[in-house]
Amino acid sequence: MLGFGGEREAVSKVGLTAADLVAARRREPAAVTRVYTAYAPALFRFFMAAVGDHHQAEDLTGTTFLSAIESLPRFRGPIEALGGWLFQIARHDLYDHRRRQSRSRIEPLDDNLNEATQVAGVVDPEELAVDRVDADRVVAAMRQLSDDQREVLLLRMAGGFTAPEVAEILGKTTGAVKALQHRGLASLARVLGLRSPEQPQERPYPSPDPGRLTSQEEEER
Amino acid sequence: MPGPKPNKLHDELDALLDGRPVELTDELAPLAEVADALRAELAAYQLDPGVADRHLERVLHGSATVVPLRARAHPNGWDLRRRVAAVVLAAALVLAPATMASAAALPGQPMYPFKRAIEELRIASVQWSPSREAVERTRVADARLDELTQLVNLRIFTQVPTAITALSKAVQEAEAAVDDATREGEPVARAASKLSAVKVAGGQVVAVVATTVANPSSLPRGTREAITAAVEQSQGVLPVPNRDTGSGAPSGSTPTPPPASPTSSPPSQPPPNSTPQTTTTEPPVTSTTLPPTTTTAPEPTSTEPTVTTGGAAGGGDGTGGDQQTTEGAAPAEPAP
């Protein structure tokens, strides 16, 4: 379970109470707004790092929040578990989004950059591309991680969850999550030149099979 | 085997990420550096407040019509039509001016918490920059002044104590933000000047409120006492115009005379010594940023807006309208 407190007077770490949850189920504007204010920024960061596009991340945030509020009457957990539940919906929405993306045509990078250049008011698309790489260096490097590692790091850093909470969301053990976050960060450090390639590792990276990596880790424990 | 065991390293890294104290070994240092860099990049992704507005509008206003999902099975054609209608409705709601509904909300109205939450989001989204935060907080203070002004003009006095307290708090927070930005060496001259204008205008409105409260027949006792307490608490923050010298406002604007109740016999505050009502400005509020709502009406008797606007005046605590005659209501009392 994500929450460890009792149901009465429980307050989540983002400051929501059980009363907020009850009121949000009834779609009382103040409570819905509090839930949104508590989680939307983290959801947006999660989506932004995952898809790398502002508009798509905004749309995904809105879609996730809308479906979460619509499904809220079916949520039976304590208020402390609400964040994890929301991010489970976010993951599903992200998978759906990626599935749709993979079916649609791949737009040439130049088109994207030209459009983004107009939005950003920059004259030179190349300049924008360089700026983006500089600004999102670490996030861009995350694309080289395995899906599991990336997801763990995003939930941890963008979602603000603890390792046990991430484990609950992903259906893994806490040990596996800790191992994944360690490997993910170690790989990022190497990619970004902060750690020499010859530094000792427990396992070679990148793992050819993220699923196998997880089970290996679980066996070890 | 050299180095710590994998599990110990995992635990130490996990503790580090949680912010718990851990000795930063050579192994951990680059990981911590990457984690910090990643956090910093992620923190730069800020949700646009306008987008947040739209999302909330979609959820809140979509609820009444879109939600009644699958009560029972319908034929496919009907289901499809209903879905199309829901999509069209949702699209229309998204395209509608999203902030309109809440922007005009006053304390006590259903959309008011929504308005305040949006403000919080806006502030949260600019807190990385002291000068932007100062500008945003000044804007919020101005919004509180606007609300107080409207409540006074609409004579919704039950909400006035809350509004005065909120204005004082917003002004204090804006002052702190301006001070912070100034210390950081960021340019906030415009925000500072706007803030002082808000303070002056706020003091004028509070003075008008205080004058109204001074008339014992104008308001129910409970409301009067609450307003008096709020006015007293705001004294250190909002400069009340000096009534003896005619004006406390530095900008040379006209002092704010008592707006109503010309037959008042103020028990606590002496009336202005010269020409109490027939002086210049009728409008109680001359906010620098907001157009005065009842500007320059020469006759003070024009201040008889109905109190029932917004449904908040006749609040549940029984301190509703100002028509309740407590003691010897004067005939000149403005009709509610």
Q: Which residues of A touch B38 (CB under 8 A)?
A: 138-139, 142, 153, 157, 188
Give the dihedral of Cα atoms B121, B126, B131, B132; nearest 10 deg. -70
What are the tokens at A66? 């809308």
B-proximal residues of A, 84-113, CB under 8 Å? none
CATH architecture of A8-106: Orthogonal Bundle (1.10)
Residue B232 main-chain phi, psi, to 5 deg: -60, -40
pLDDT score of B209? 87
CA distance A165 to chain B (A): 12
Rounded to whole angstroms, how far apart are CA atoms B217 and A129?
Answer: 70
pLDDT score of A117? 53
* pLDDT tens for the 221 residues of chain A, in order: 344 444 446 777 778 999 999 999 988 888 898 899 899 999 999 999 999 889 999 999 999 999 999 999 989 889 989 999 999 999 999 999 998 888 765 555 555 555 555 555 555 555 555 555 556 788 889 988 999 999 999 999 999 999 999 999 999 999 999 999 999 999 999 988 876 545 544 444 444 444 444 444 444 44
How far is the CA of B195 from the CAs of A167, B139, B185, B201, in angstroms?
Answer: 48, 8, 18, 10
Identify whether the C-beta of residue B203 lies closer than 8 Å to the C-beta of residue B238.
yes
A-proximal residues of B, 1-20, CB under 8 Å? 2-3, 6-7, 9-11, 13-14, 17-18
Pick the CATH number of A145-221 from 3.90.79.10, 3.30.450.40, 3.40.50.800, 1.10.10.10: 1.10.10.10
* pLDDT tens for the 336 residues of chain B, in order: 454 456 888 999 999 898 888 888 888 888 998 999 998 889 889 888 888 888 988 888 764 433 333 333 444 454 555 555 555 455 444 444 444 556 778 888 777 777 787 788 778 777 777 888 899 899 999 999 999 998 888 888 888 999 999 999 999 999 999 998 888 888 888 889 999 999 989 998 998 888 888 877 777 888 888 888 888 888 888 887 765 544 444 443 333 444 444 333 333 444 444 333 433 333 444 333 344 433 333 344 334 333 333 333 333 333 333 333 333 333 333 333
Of A181, A192, A195, which has the smallest distance from its Cβ to B13's Cβ?
A: A181
Show the 3-state SS of B32-51: HHHHHHHHHHHHCCCCCHHH
B-proximal residues of A, 10-49, CB under 8 Å? 27, 29-30, 32-34, 36-37, 40-41, 44-45, 48-49
B41 touches chain A (CB under 8 A): yes
CA distance A105 to chain B (A): 25
Rounded to whole angstroms, how far apart are CA atoms A50 and B104?
Answer: 37
Rounded to whole angstroms, how far apart are CA atoms A119 and B253?
Answer: 44
Helix (H, G, I), strand (E, B) or coil at A120: helix
Q: Which residues of B touch A189 (CB under 8 A)?
A: 30-31, 33-34
Within A72-208, residue ranges assigned H as helices are 82-103, 109-120, 125-135, 137-141, 147-157, 163-170, 174-191
Identify whether the C-beta of residue A118 lies closer than 8 Å to the C-beta of residue A25.
no
Rounded to whole angstroms, how far apart are CA atoms B106 and B157?
Answer: 12
Which DSSP symbol is given to B307? T
Mutate to test the interface with A, among B46, B53, B55 (most CBs of A within 10 A): B55
CA distance B176 to chain A (A): 24
Per-domain residue ranges of chain B: 6-42, 49-95, 129-242
Of B10, B42, B121, which has the smallest distance from its Cβ to A182's Cβ?
A: B10
Per-domain residue ranges of chain A: 8-106, 145-221
What are the tokens at B243? 């009534």
DSSP result, A32-85: HHHHHHHHHHHHHHHHHHHH--HHHHHHHHHHHHHHHHHHGGG--S-GGGHHHH
Note whether B113 contacts A136, CB cutoff 8 Å: no
CA distance B90 to chain A (A): 11
pLDDT in tens, A45-102: 999 999 988 999 999 999 999 999 999 998 988 998 999 999 999 999 999 999 888 8
pLDDT score of A213? 42
Residue B174 main-chain phi, psi, to 5 deg: -65, -40
